[in-house]
Copies of this chain bind each other. A is one copy, B any other.
Amino acid sequence: MKLTNKGRYAVMAMADLASNAKDGPISLTEISLRQNISLAYLEQIFLKLKNNKLVRSSRGANGGYVLEKPASEIKLSNIIYAVDEEVKTLNCKKNSKRGCNNKSTKCITHNLWDQLDQHIIGFFEKVKLQDLAKLG
């Protein structure tokens, strides 16, 4: 599973959005200052969040982002998935001669890693953005 700073930043930023909700949209500049994440990096992250329909944007001055759905309906797995693309611990490389080639006894750990993935995904499926906002 790719679980990096980018994923963490995304969760942080979304939690920020949720807990600082106001009338209009919230600009990345604000989030950048509050969460101490570089603006340019946030832009990249929000591009993906937007493409995954987790936030809605309005452009121009006073523009910014708002949650696309209520915080109670956004699962953390959605966020992680949006920015990290794959929610798998490790791919047993398809065309590699090394390691797992997914047949018979070669990769005894294959199933194990799959199970772990499910575990992690399950964890993030359970927690909603709303749950996090309470902590902030």
A binding-site residues for B, Cβ under 8 Å: 1, 3-5, 8-9, 11-12, 15-16, 19, 35-38, 76, 89-90, 97-99, 101, 105-109, 111-113, 115-116, 119-120, 123-124, 127, 132-133, 135-136
The residue of chain B having its C-beta at the shortest distance from the C-beta of A123 within the complex is B119
Q: Which residues does chain B contribute within 8 Å of A124, judged by CB atoms?
A: 116
In the complex, how many angstroms separate the beta carbon of A32 from the nearest chain B beta carbon? 11
A93 CB to closest chain B CB, in angstroms?
A: 9
B-side contacts of A35, CB under 8 Å: 99, 106
Q: A76's closest neighbor in chain B, by CB?
A: B112
Q: Which residues of B contact A105 (CB under 8 A)?
A: 136
